[in-house]
Structure 1
């Protein structure tokens, strides 16, 4: 097994880790050099300036995320689900054969409508390694949340939910924006729970979202509690669509504050949570590299 430079190259950020053959992370680096900041043709030079010192002879580099999109370094075609470590390793897009490769994203077709992910698949595979799981459901909350089903260590299905983006749109550009505070007050756990509960019981977001305004109008929620309430409504709506069963367990991955909110919301459904941090990306890329070496 070779020393690995693991890179997560997203839309707005670039981070990497130097990983020993035994999986030990030797060093990490982060840069504000997402793909949108890199002019066409300059990906090699940006990579060299950020990680060139790590690329000693015999070192392998695997890059996940939006570097493999049409706007990235080189397009890496999506790998169709169901897919596991071996499928991903077999479809790497080699920038420099045997030295630098881009990990493909995943695609799935549900009822004739495609869905895609790029970067999250590496986090999922890393979580399987970290938690020792073969079968599980995972949620990766964020601007576009991903719900993922894994069976026999293969991603069999997933779906995308625009929860974070819709929150931002309602927060900034809807009639609700006139009621909500301009700044970001401290989270209100009680208001968040109230929003989750109303979403779970209500007929749907097109109806329940307006309650953010009316609860303020009738002074049943203070202004500073409204963002937490709206967040609860949206996350509750997302959870309601997942047909979760009481007693089920879900793996939640992402930023600590956001995963804590999902854990709080899932508790209303009697669903337990295992949380995984940012290290899952490095573990996933290491696992893909090891599969490639074995192959």
Structure 2
């Protein structure tokens, strides 16, 4: 039974195979070549699509990104001063040809207006109480000092030395007594003490103008005494601050009728420069007293030291 069924199946297979004619070898080759060309064309198309997409994406990213084009190359640093170079002291350094002083000061013609100059960032614009000296206990009159506006120099025939270079100024009146005086004794004198800050490098011009103003005003009238004059003259002075100007004023003593009674009432004025700061000590007396030079010199040194501590 198995043999008959198997033979029947073989016959059906043979009949089915005979009806299907196998293609010739040339036909099979042409069909294979066509399929190969189709696969190659499809692969090339795929690559082109990928390349086009990548290029478009790149253009979009570059358009959205900020400009990162490199700037100019950094400048090559120049060699600076050696580590062993010591900074120069403004008070002792020699003048430079372009300025006539140490520091970056614009060149100018002596005596030319300087109102357009500006103070540097290091120039003080305020003057604290600690910049003013304190009297020793033996000379303290117990009245304290009073910061008030008013003249800081005697009249100099209308001259106003240093005003064009001024940044700020503060002044006080300070009575003092002689050492060992009784508690109820009147003061021995009174100071008009001022501190002025000048534009960078111009404080020496203020002192030069002061010297010239005193020299140009050897005498001046006393406003409330017709026919009476004040004599003014420069005195030699060294050893105070960077430089100083010292001068005196002399007024004849007068009796009750206003007539000269013999002798002079003498007062001293000293202007001391410390960098761009000038302190002026003007002793004005008290009830016709004259300046005592020893006390005046000692208080001048105290004034310089107080300014030095303030600026340190």
TM bucket by the smaller chain? under 0.3
Structure with greater proportional helix content: 1
TM-score between both structures, scaled by the size of structure 1: 0.25
* Greater radius of gyration (CA): 2
By relative contact order (CA 8 Å, sep 6+), the higher-ranking structure is 1
TM-score between both structures, scaled by the size of structure 2: 0.24
